[in-house]
Structure 1
Amino acid sequence: MFSGSIPALVTPFREGQVDEEAFRRFVDWQIENGSSALVPCGTTGESATLDNEEHHKLIGICVEQASGRVPVIAGCGSNDTRTALWHMEVAKDLGADAALMVAPYYNRPSQEGLLAHFSFLAESCDLPIVLYNVPGRTVTDLLPATVVELARRHPGKIVGIKDASGDLQRATQHRLGAGPDFCQLSGDDPLALAGYVLGQVGCISVTANVAPKLSAELHAAAATGDYERARKVHEKLFPLHKALFADASPSPTKYALAKLHNWLTADTRLPIAPCSEAARKAVDEALEIAGLG
């Protein structure tokens, strides 16, 4: 259903407000440079600091600007099941192709709680769901057995996963349990190439915000089994993968984008502060290595 290089889009801000013109331009630039789908209002989009009106507006803008050229996987997750359902219903009405649903954070639900949460959402709205497991942020870990059970209970509704657990063996566990048609996407740019060997088919990416053309090239090569070419691009991008997390994300990513494009700012919303001098230096060096500086 989804594959290739899929940026988790930053949300452009200017003087504290969402910069709609820059966001529309950013969507176009991403598509023109080979991104195969788009994720508005994910972690990199600072969804935690968007109010509901902004959240829904950004999904609508992304769908409208993409205009069917690539799918839109709208960030809809919440630690409140009712709010998550509301986001899904709005995203469906706005024309999104799927919902990216992060495991509920802060509450620390059990695996039974996760089964109940995602089952309720799948049964209450027919927008396809891509699960999102990122225990480093949520504390809650969506275990492989739970992922497999959800895929079995809700075929055609829970269609895939963005796995940012850092545990590559899960790709095999998911594939053996949920089958080869269950869409597995990496959530870790440094591990995305390795994931192809195990059955992943793409990455919901931070780095693709900054280097969409190179990221698309990497994934196109990996998808056709040209691992030598993919590895060369991976090694070119690897310093950037690391530098974009040299400070609290997405601050380094926004710094990089502001350096590359005069129509974007490095503005973030508190509690995310501007990235440190050390992080800026790491980004500058990584952009040079990638041929983007």
Structure 2
Amino acid sequence: MADNNLNIRGSMVALITPMFPDGAIDWLTFRELINWHIEEGTDALVITGSTGETPTIALEDHIELIRVAVDIATDRIPIIGGTGANSTSEAIELTHAARDAGVDACLSVVPYYNRPTQMGIYEHFRAVAECCELPMIVYDVPSRTNARMSVDTIVSLAQLDNVIGLKDATGDIARVNELLHKVPPSFSLYSGDDATAAAFILMGGHGNISVTANILPRLMHELCALALRGEVALVQLLSQRLASLNQALFIESNPIPIKWAMVRMGIIHEGLRLPLTQLSPEYVKVVESAMIEAGIPLSNNSAGVKSGFRPYGV
């Protein structure tokens, strides 16, 4: 049974991987973003998740992104390395590499494309969990994997020694109560859906692995902290401020909108890797208006070219 000594709570940023227009990784900006999130109060960083475009990143760069994040963080913030794959052997290899890099935990997604049975999902995660002593958060995101974990599967996984939590990106906050009654007290439940994250935490969840926090780290930290304290009125107020933005950032496949927003703020270059493409023109005003409504300062650089990292407070 997992003993969650990490006790990670609050806002965890699913960090983008900054790139140049040709798709090369912008390592300098990657380092700047990590320092910025630490300064803004982010509670943990998730590196090389789906928001980080890992399906298009070579294995050696995947591992290097994790290693650099650990090195820059210097124990100032927990680093969670995304080590999921639809091949169990590859997931094990990545998890070993993340452990060797010094991460605090790993995030492992339900195998995608294969469409495994519930037994297959359980055996996949069991094999990864048993490969090395590294705390593991399992990740349920059926919109991407086309395979949803059942409550029974989650409960079974929660009995494994180093499976310490669940990232739930289903948007189904109703199952929080059911899970809380069935999993060990040390097992953590994290939302993976910004639009319902505050309600998820108010229902008893422990935090949010957030896309929106890429551009509003301090505000997302405050929202999660308020929800953990049960301050409903203030949670409602901040949630209303973020409602349009949380919707707009998923108007096309993640991380297309969030990267466009960060370019619009002037903090990253305009870089994505195919098959992802830039935000469709018909959605530009939608995302921009949602950013303005949330109080995000926009760059005057209409060309969208990074001219220097400019962290800000909101």
TM class by shorter chain equals over 0.9
Q: Secondary structure at the match of 2:272?
A: coil
**Is it true that 1:213 corresponds to 2:221 in the alignment?**
no
Task: Write the distance in 2 (CA, Å) between the matches of 1:91 and 1:278.
Answer: 40
Question: Which residue does the alignment assign to 1:71?
Answer: 78
**Is it true that 1:178 corresponds to 2:183 in the alignment?**
yes
**Is it true that 1:110 corresponds to 2:114 in the alignment?**
no
Question: Which residue does the alignment assign to 1:285?
Answer: 289
Give 1:1-293 correspondences, 5 Å limit: 1-14=7-20, 15-152=22-159, 154-155=160-161, 157-262=162-267, 264-293=268-297
Give the letter aligned to residue 154 of structure 2: V
Task: Write the distance in 1 (CA, Å) between the matches of 2:122 and 2:279.
Answer: 38
Deviations along 1:29-51, whole A, 9 cap, x unmatched? 11111110000100100011111
Which one is further off, 193-202 or 22-31? 193-202
Task: Write the distance in 2 (CA, Å) between the matches of 1:219 and 1:261.
Answer: 26
Which one is further off, 268-277 or 278-287? 278-287
Give the letter aligned to residue 25 of structure 1: E
Q: Is the 8 A contact 2:106 2:136 kept in 1?
A: yes
TM-score between both structures, scaled by the size of structure 2:
0.90
Q: Is the 8 A contact 1:111 1:146 kept in 2?
A: yes
Deviations along 1:231-264, whole A, 9 cap, x unmatched? 11111111110111112211110111111134x1
Q: CA deviation at 1:278?
A: 2.4
Structure 1 residue ranges without an equivalent (≥5): none
Q: Secondary structure at the match of 1:178?
A: coil
Hey, which bits of structure 1, 4+ residues long, moved more than 4 A? Answer: none
TM-score between both structures, scaled by the size of structure 1:
0.97
Which one is further off, 274-283 or 53-62? 274-283
Q: CA deviation at 1:132?
A: 0.2
Alignment RMSD:
1.0
Task: Write the distance in 1 (CA, Å) between the matches of 2:58 and 2:284.
Answer: 29
Task: Write the distance in 1 (CA, Å) between the matches of 2:184 and 2:202.
Answer: 15
**Could you tell me the percent identity over the aligned residues?**
40
Q: Is the 8 A contact 1:180 1:199 kept in 2?
A: no
Which one is further off, 219-228 or 36-45? 219-228
Give the letter aligned to residue 280 of structure 2: S
Question: Aligned pair count?
Answer: 290
Q: CA deviation at 1:181?
A: 2.0
Task: Write the distance in 2 (CA, Å) between the matches of 1:190 and 1:105.
Answer: 23
Q: Secondary structure at the match of 2:51?
A: coil
**Structure number with higher helix proportion:** 1
Give the letter aligned to residue 121 of structure 2: L
Q: Secondary structure at the match of 2:122?
A: helix
Q: Is the 8 A contact 1:73 1:97 kept in 2?
A: yes
Q: Secondary structure at the match of 1:284?
A: helix
Q: Secondary structure at the match of 1:245?
A: coil
